[in-house]
Chain A
Amino acid sequence: MKIGVLFSGGKDSAYAAWLAKKEGYEIGCLITIVSENKESYMFHTPFIDKVILQAKEMEIPLIIVKTKGEKEHELIDLEKAIKLAIKTYKINGVVTGAIESVYQATRVQKICNQLKIECFNPLWQKNALEHWNDLIKNKFKVILVSVAADGLNKAWTHKEINLQRLAELTKLSEKYKFHLAFEGGEAETFVVNSPMFNKEVKI
């Protein structure tokens, strides 16, 4: 099956794309929604312009659609982007990096159902620590690009999350009660290298 990946450049969508490839799916394109609204319910992408560099290193076509990021209106723009992917790259399914967010998953499921294509959420309900360990084990070089939670300060940004930092991050998430996978927007991540990249992305 040929699929499109809803791609933000962060750890979850990048890992979901890799899982799809590993399971034998052909990735027809990456689909990125650029929101003008920093408080968007659906799209959190502080390094969105760098997604172009990631797509280049992955040698996968990229569809970028802009949205004002108004609640529910941005879903119309997402639907437009998926329709474009169906038309241009003949995809039959969409892959997302949704883990816990029923809000996001439900909306993508509804759009895919309406367009009669499959929706895949391979990280759905995954334990956050297991996810981080899988990222590190499978050589995903992930950095934090923004932080917005008690216990996380600017010193955490632009540093690779390795096993040592993961242990520290885990302790902080327990102490300050934030979601270790940042499902509540506690931080945003960016993948600078992965098994799907030809070489590391410089930012």
Chain B
Amino acid sequence: MILVINICNERLHYLEFVKPICDILDNNNLKYFVKSYKEVSKAELDKCNKVIICGTSLFDNEFTKDLDKFKWILNFNKPILGICGGMQIIGLVFGGKIRKMTEIGFYSEYFNRDFLGLSEKCEVYHLHNNYIDFSKLAFDIFCGNEFSQAVKHKEKEIYCVLFHPEVRQKELFLNFLSK
């Protein structure tokens, strides 16, 4: 069972940032349930075997004021995938700091080794005003350096991407879920 965490504060954003990921899971007959980050309970974290933390819009950053609601990530030992805002949450929880950088649209990125099926040059869809520098955190960087685009925790199955794989890299989800 996959727990899909919605971090959107605006209701209409659900359809843009959460539903496309649910559609990928539905199309592959994968069982999941969606919860707002404000409502995730210990029982739900125990029930699931993987977690996806979705992204949200450029100005929908309410989650940064609620980081205490994500402290469970530090002691969680099941695979997590953080997307855009989800990546920022994971970085902040592990001690990173928010930095400013706006990227909107398709960008060509270079993956220095295989990352959930992505390698070398890939065109990815970005939609962010912020990012986290993971270079001094306990994460390996697969794409970008200080301006981290794709990272994995050195010891845990925690994966993060700054771009939105639900737009052009749908297979990334299946590669993550096969972990």
Chain A residues within 8 Å of B, Cβ to Cβ = 1, 19-20, 23-25, 93, 95, 102, 106, 109-110, 112-113, 116-127
Q: How far is the CA of A19 from the CA of B125 in the complex (A)?
A: 25
Give the contacting residue for A95; candidates B11, B12, B129, B167; CB below 8 A. B12
Stretch at the interface among B33-41, B55-63, B73-81, B145-153: B55-63
Name the residue of chain B whose CB is nearest to the CB of A121: B16
Q: A1-B10, A119-B58, A125-B23 are in contact. Are A106 and B15 (CB under 8 A)?
A: no
Name the residue of chain A whose CB is nearest to the CB of B60: A118
**CB neighbours of B19 from chain A (8 A):** 125-126
Of the candidates A1, A19, A20, A106, the one having the most CB atoms from chain B within 10 angstroms of its own CB is: A106
Q: Is the CB of B12 within 8 A of A106?
A: no
Q: Is the CB of B58 within 8 A of A19?
A: no
Q: A1-B10, A102-B125 are in contact. Are A118 and B59 (CB under 8 A)?
A: yes
**CB neighbours of B118 from chain A (8 A):** none
Top 5 A-B pairs, shortest CB-CB distance:
A106-B105, A125-B20, A122-B15, A124-B16, A120-B12
Chain B residues within 8 Å of A, Cβ to Cβ = 10-13, 15-16, 19-20, 23, 57-60, 102, 104-106, 125, 127, 129, 166-167
Q: State the majority secondary structure of interface residues on B.
A: mixed
Q: Is the CB of B59 within 8 A of A116?
A: yes
A-B interface contact total, Cβ < 8 Å: 61
**CB neighbours of A110 from chain B (8 A):** 104-105
Q: Is the CB of B59 within 8 A of A127?
A: no
Of the candidates A24, A112, A117, A119, the one having the most CB atoms from chain B within 10 angstroms of its own CB is: A119
Give the distance to chain A from B19, nearest Cβ to Cβ, in Å: 8
Give the contacting residue for A109; candidates B10, B127, B166; CB below 8 A. B127
Q: Is the CB of B60 within 8 A of A19?
A: no
Give the distance to chain B from A39, nearest Cβ to Cβ, in Å: 21
Q: Is the CB of A120 within 8 A of B104?
A: no
Q: Is the CB of A23 within 8 A of B12?
A: yes
Q: Is the CB of A102 within 8 A of B12?
A: no
**CB neighbours of B104 from chain A (8 A):** 106, 109-110, 113
Q: How far is the CA of A86 from the CA of B60 in the complex (A)?
A: 19
Q: Is the CB of B167 within 8 A of A19?
A: no
Q: A24-B11, A113-B104, A113-B129 are in contact. Are A120 and B23 (CB under 8 A)?
A: no
